[in-house]
Chains A and B, each alone.
Chain A
């Protein structure tokens, strides 16, 4: 866990980092970032229609799902289209998109076919992202051109049978050859997306290294660029999955693979940082894709609700359906706002967006699941049928709460990252509590006082409780994951509130036709988020919750010891 906390930014502009310090730093969140220049905007506007058209008319998600692979003709067209090198610089054969432009295109893919989305994402969002981020000029020149055209595909190889969330415990081993020109790689990786298709692998392996401080040998992780053609690289059959069936997932084995020392990616022994940088850098893409997915299913739900008549009226006139459609809309609005705020911040040069990125991944994956589930509910029996396509989306979505950092781990990450500087900032906290939103210019005047008050109130309460939480941390009770989860949930809700306040403010000040609608979305979200934060904080203070946590520990221990349910059957047998 401590290895995750390597992000120490002394003067961070990140809203989330400062939030945990008890300070509001609005520079990255107000106003809503608008980072594209005229040329970038125009270029993006030209790219959206052909990509949308391709996914509407050519790609067949149902076919890809039943074949359990992306149709060959579709793969070819995607390669010709340039979809495999969206962020590779133009002079190396890619489209050279910024994060914001990439997000907008990935949103289209997410709307239509998550299986294709993962095939593309596993390749460029994580598969060869390391080369883009930390590769040497020679490595970039050698590998990026063919990766950009899709002539070679890439895969990210970190997970092993005994190492998932505990990534630092991987056992794949790299030892320097006697001649000193190669590392010999041995080990096996599981659940590798594109594992059966890739030619280029970013592989993480441990190496025993001399720790300069202690003089002892220690295992450190190094990242390598491994070519299948080096020999010794094999893969298993495609895994049978619940969803994203079109995406190839396979085990990859490395047996005495000779990797030239020039193929070390980043620093020797610095592999863990590389892995985290790659995952961190690609996370905004998930929020963007899932905001597209939600848009798609909401359109289906609305279409059904607007036309289906029961008990004499269209079902969208009934409160139960209205609440569902409203919640779905709000969740999509928040996710979309987070995606483009983060991509905007990244494009503006921010380097410490890790907490926001983690928040957006947690939020987007859970929101998309909830929205799609409610879409099926609105559609009734039709939603359950294969023909309407929503059940496929549901199956495709389940993995998003698991891979790329499980949401449970990421919540701990969000909470613990926040507390890193805890001790130093208790004093500044007291000052901030007195006047949380001192700068009135933060919010467009038209945002109602109520929304402003709820943000202030949540802020004060969160930070008021922050003091207690910090004390708990310092007393080492912060290992209590029950506590950390609730802190993270509050942080997520606070960031979500800020993000929609920013977006709705911008729409209001720009006089958009939809501004009033967005204002309502924003207000409603803030009211409910505030209630959730209040409840979380109240829980953390209450003794009955402490008892509940203790009880849950006991329940869990009992069922583990019993290998299952403990209470005897009500019938006695």
Chain B
């Protein structure tokens, strides 16, 4: 039980007002505030807590993307991760990057680093795919504990309480395993200035997808991105009969 890999994604900050690019190929990212995906923060927090409770020895933070993602890795280091890995992806490859490519990278790294656990956020707030954790587990043929709201390590197994539509489901899976963090798993700590200073001394290794034998070719092509339709004004009616009449008139019933 030595090493945990945590994935951290650099996304547009949740408070930013998103704008679609004029050519409708995507959203505006230039000059826009970015930060760590909130679910990734929760994943980092869980990994650091496991280390503090001495269940694991080392937490490695991993991010894929251009040079800016090192900011996100450093935030993870400031929260308590021991070292980082920056998988360099840029240009068209970065724009087209999705769960399939990321999960291949994580699967390769999990083997290379001999990780006992891979902890990811359940989904990213930009694409809301909710696929990377599941795909990574499948590629590795490892058990998965997704939508985790509680994680307990017991010897070589992990007890995971999962948030599901009907309520909560508790499962026991053996390690190595992939976990994805849901909202209520924990409350991420604030990076303190002294920890940010200490993080400067921690190492971030660089590598390319090719070094891990991963091909980044996308099987998905984005045709167009549109803003959601503007909400139309509502109409007030006086009585229930009026309401029924209007609904019949516009073909709803």
Contacts and interface: CB of A to CB of B under 8 A. Distances in A.
Contact of B190 (A43, A46, A58, A95): A58
Interface string A330-366: 0000000000000000000000000000000000000
Interface string B182-214: 000000001111101100100000000000000
Contact of B191 (A50, A58, A83, A95): A50
Interface string A57-82: 01000000000000000000100111
Contact of B74 (A46, A54, A90, A513): A46
Contacts, number: 40
A58 B78 CA distance: 19
A45 B197 contact: no
A80 B192 contact: yes
Given A43-B200, A46-B78, A95 B193 contact: yes
Contacts of B35: 49
B75 A77 contact: no
Contacts of B71: 45-46
Interface in B160-199: 190-194, 196-197
A54 B193 contact: no
Interface string A247-268: 0000000000000000000000
A82 B190 contact: no
A242 interface: no
Interface residues of B, number: 14
Given A49-B75, A83-B193, 19 more contacts: A43-B196, A43-B197, A45-B71, A46-B74, A46-B75, A46-B196, A50-B78, A50-B192, A51-B193, A80-B192, A81-B190, A81-B192, A81-B193, A82-B192, A82-B194, A82-B197, A95-B193, A95-B197, A513-B31
A217 interface: no
A77 B190 contact: yes
Contacts of A51: 193
A81 B196 CA distance: 10
16 contacts: A43-B197, A43-B200, A45-B71, A46-B75, A46-B196, A47-B193, A47-B196, A49-B75, A50-B78, A50-B191, A50-B196, A77-B190, A82-B193, A82-B194, A83-B193, A95-B193
Contacts of B75: 46, 49
B35 to A, nearest CB: 6
A54 B200 contact: no
A53 interface: yes
Those 7 A-B pairs whose CB atoms lie nearest each other, nearest first: A82-B193, A50-B191, A81-B192, A82-B194, A95-B193, A46-B196, A80-B192
Contacts of A58: 190
A90 B190 contact: no
Contacts of B78: 46, 50
A46 B74 CA distance: 8
Contacts of A45: 71
A49 B197 CA distance: 14
Contacts of A90: 197
A54 B35 CA distance: 15
A49 B35 CA distance: 9
A50 B193 CA distance: 8
Contact of A54 (B190, B196, B197): B190
Nearest to B199: A46
A95 B78 CA distance: 14
Nearest to B74: A46
Contacts of B200: 43
Nearest to B33: A49
Most buried by B among A51, A58, A83: A51
Contacts of B74: 46
A49 B78 CA distance: 12
A50 B196 CA distance: 10
Contacts of A82: 192-194, 197
A54 B74 CA distance: 18
B70 to A, nearest CB: 10
A95 B196 CA distance: 10
A162 to B, nearest CB: 41
A96 B193 CA distance: 10
A54 B196 CA distance: 15
Interface string A87-100: 00010000110000
B68 to A, nearest CB: 11
Contacts of B196: 43, 46-47, 50
B190 A50 contact: yes
Contacts of A47: 193, 196
A49 B13 CA distance: 11
Contacts of B193: 47, 50-51, 81-83, 86, 95
